[in-house]
Amino acid sequence: MTNQVEFFKWWFVDERTGKRRLTTYKLSRGDAERAFPGTEPDLQTRELRNLPGVLDGLRNSRPGSSWSD
């Protein structure tokens, strides 16, 4: 099962200069909010990525069992 996650570059206010800046890298909404509280997404930089679920890789990985494809 894959999850679609939105990534953006984000506008934030630089604490040192007081100027509004755009992040260098694209971040998900949750990561951006943790790194830069109160940020705004730059909607033109939106990217939708299909990411595997956290449990997908763990379903067939029991100790002592054969690897399955």
Model confidence over 11-61: pLDDT tens digits? 999 989 999 999 999 999 999 999 999 999 999 999 999 888 755 555 555
Report yes or no on 57 lying in a domain: no
Domain-embedded: residue 63: no
pLDDT at 1 > cutoff 90: no
Q: Domain range for residue 29?
A: 2-51
User: Is residue 10 a part of any domain in this protein?
Assistant: yes
Whether residue 32 is contained in a domain is answered as: yes
Report the alpha-carbon distance of residue 56 to residue 60 in Å, rounded. 8
**What is the C-alpha separation between 54 and 69, in angstroms, rounded?**
17
The total number of structural domains that make up the chain: 1
Q: What is the pLDDT of residue 52?
A: 80
Q: Output the pLDDT for position 62.
A: 57
* 8: nearest Cα among 34, 52, 22, 51: 22
Strand partners, 28: 7
Cβ pair 22, 11 in contact under 8 A: yes
pTM, whole model, 2 decimals?
Answer: 0.69
In a domain, 39, yes or no: yes
Q: pLDDT confidence of 3, banded at 50, 70, 90? A: confident
Distance, in Å, from the CA atom of 57 to the CA atom of 38, rounded to the nearest integer, reads 34
